[in-house]
Structure 1
Amino acid sequence: MKLTIDDSWNATVTGDPLRITPRFDFRDFRVRIAEYANVEERQRFLLDTFGSEPWLWDTPDELRFDQGSHELVGGELQLPDEAADAEDSARIPATPPVRPGGLRADETRDFRLEVTTELCRAPGDTVLTCLRDLDVLDAPLEARIGIAPDVALLVQGATVVGWSLTDPARYLTTGFAAPDPAPPSPATRLLLTECLDIVTSPLLDEVRDRNPAALKRLRTLDHALRNQRGDRHRADALLALISNLVEDYADPSAAQEP
C-alpha cells in the first residue's frame, strides 16, 4: 500500500513496525514514539532524520525517517484539545482491524503533517482516536496501519486522515520518561477519564471561566491524584497538568479575570 501525506508526499507501507513503546505525555498532550531522553537528544534526532517537524511557530505532527534507509524511525503526535460529541465518537468504525506495518519514504524530502482537530473517545477511554475532521466518519476506513505498539495511522482513500492510541492509560508518563512497565491500576483508568473530561472542551472552558462547579470538580480531581496509593508514576503524569490548572484557576490566590 502507498500512502499520501501532505498532498504530494508519499510513503510505502512495509512489514516492519517500530518496536518503540509509545509515551503518552499528558502534560504536553502528545504521544511520543521515540527513544530520545531529553531535549538535546531530540535535537540530534531531528538533525539526523527527515520528514515533518516543527519550524518556528509552526508545530505540525511529526513523522521522522532515516536518511539512508528511508524507514520510519519515530515521531510525535499531538492530541486535539477539543473532544467530539459522544454520538460522533460512537461512529468510529470497528473495521478494518489494525495491520502492523512500518513506512518507507519514497524520497528524501521534508513534508508537513497537519495536526488532527477532533478527539474521539471510546467508552472508558480504552482508545483515543484523533481525526483530521469529522467528515472522515462519513466514509469507511481503508486501513489501520499499526506503526508502533498500540499506535495506528488511519487511512482513507490512500491518505492518512488520523491516528489512534489503544489503552492510553498504559502509556501515561511525563516528558521523555518511559512509562511504567507494570499495567495501570483500575483507579488510574478512572482518573484518566476524569482528567480527559477536565482538559477538553467544553469543561475546560468552564474551568477557565472559573465556573464554581467546574472548579470544585477540578480540586476534587487534584486531591484524588495526590492521594492515590500506588501507580504513582501515572498519577504524577496526570497531576502534572491538573495541578497547573489548579494553580492557574482554582487557587484562591490566583488573580481573578475582569
Structure 2
Amino acid sequence: MTKVRITVGDTMSAETTDRPLAFTPRFDFRDLQLIVAGYSDPAGRERQLPDTFGSKQWLWSQDEHFRFDRGSRELCGLTFFLPPQSVSVPRGPAAHDEPRTQAGGLRADTAREFAMPQTTVFHCDPGATELRCLRDVGVLDRRLDARLVLAPDVALLVQEGAVVGWSLGDPARYLTDGFAEPQPSPPAPATRLRLAECLELVSSPLVDQVMDEDADAWHRLRATERALREQRDDRPRAEILHGVISRLIEDYEP
C-alpha cells in the first residue's frame, strides 16, 4: 500500500495506514449523524475521550468527531454530522470524474487536539446510492484527488491534499435510530427512494419552505409521510424515517 499524507482539519497532518476501521457504520437519522466507532451510547463516547485525542464538539463549536488512539496515534472512531443544506444537482468535474480509491486508516503525526469544522452542503441522488457531504459548494468545481475508504462504505474525500468531505455509500443500508446496530438485511428499493426524499425534506432549502407553509413543500412532505406509513416491506427502516417526518409535520403543520 502506498502511504499518503493528508491534512485533517485546520492543522493536523496524518499518514494513511493499511488498517481501516472494522466497525459497521450507523446512520442515525433521528440526530442526523453517522457513527463509526465501538461505543454503543453517548456515555461510551465520553468514556473514550481520556484515551484519545483529535477533534470533537465542545461549547460553541461544531466540529466533526475524529478520535485517534493516544498510544498508537491511529484513528479509532469518528462521528460525522449531516450538513444543513442539500445541493440538488452536483456541478463540475467532482460530479463526473471519480478519483482513485484506497482503503485504509489514518495515523496522526502528533497527539494533540485540532479543529475539524463540519461540512456545510450535501448531495444524495434520487436512488440514494451515495450520500456525499462537502466542506462547501466550491469543492464541486474541482476534481477530487482521492477517496480514502475508512470503514465499510465510508470514505474521506480528499482535494489538494486536504480532507474536504466524506461519503456514505448505500446510506439506507445503515439507517438506524440512535446508536443501535442497523438491520442486517439489505434495504428495500422503496426505502432508498424515501430516504432521498427525507434528506431533502429535513434540509434547506426545502425545510425552510415547509416552515414558511409553502403549499408545494407541504404536498411533498405529506406524500412522503403517507408513503412511509403505508410501506409494508423493510418496516424497521421505514419507521425510522416516518418518525422523523411525522415530527416535522407536528412541529410545523399550519
Q: Taking structure 2 as the reference length, what is the TM-score of the superposition?
A: 0.92
Alignment of 1:25-174 (within 5 A): 25-88=28-91, 91-174=94-177
* Paired residues of 2:90 and 2:140 also in contact (CA < 8 A): no
Report the CA distance between 1:35 and its aligned residue: 2.4
* Paired residues of 2:18 and 2:104 also in contact (CA < 8 A): yes
- 1:48 is matched by which residue type in structure 2? D
Distance 1:40 1:7 in 2: 27
Distance 1:144 1:98 in 2: 5
Q: Does 1:223 align with 2:210?
A: no
- 2:249 is matched by which residue type in structure 1? V
* Paired residues of 1:141 and 1:156 also in contact (CA < 8 A): yes
Equivalent position of 1:253 in the other structure: none
Relative to structure 1, the CA distance from residue 190 to residue 85 in structure 2 (aligned partners, 3 Å threshold; closer, same or farther) is closer
- 2:62 is matched by which residue type in structure 1? T
Relative to structure 1, the CA distance from residue 200 to residue 88 in structure 2 (aligned partners, 3 Å threshold; closer, same or farther) is farther
Q: String of CA shifts for 1:47-80, please: whole Å, max 9, x gaps.
A: 3211101111212111101111111111101111
Report the CA distance between 1:18 and its aligned residue: 0.5
Q: String of CA shifts for 1:159-216, please: whole Å, max 9, x gaps.
A: 1111111111111111001110100011111111221221222221111112233223
Distance 1:227 1:97 in 2: 41
Gaps of 5+ in 1: 251-255
Please give the secondary structure, in 1, of the residue aligned with 2:62: coil
Distance 2:117 2:104 in 1: 21
Relative to structure 1, the CA distance from residue 50 to residue 240 in structure 2 (aligned partners, 3 Å threshold; closer, same or farther) is farther
Distance 1:188 1:140 in 2: 31
Please give the secondary structure, in 1, of the residue aligned with 2:140: helix
Equivalent position of 1:18 in the other structure: 21
Report the CA distance between 1:87 and its aligned residue: 4.5
Q: String of CA shifts for 1:65-124, please: whole Å, max 9, x gaps.
A: 111111111110111121114142884243223210100111110111111112122342
Equivalent position of 1:214 in the other structure: 217
Identity of aligned residues (%): 51
Alignment of 1:171-190 (within 5 A): 171-190=174-193
User: How many residues are matched?
Assistant: 251
* Paired residues of 1:62 and 1:76 also in contact (CA < 8 A): yes
Runs of 4+, deviation exceeding 3 Å:
none
What root-mean-square deviation, in Å, do the aligned CA atoms of Structure 1 and Structure 2 show? 1.7
Distance 1:40 1:200 in 2: 28
* Paired residues of 1:89 and 1:121 also in contact (CA < 8 A): no
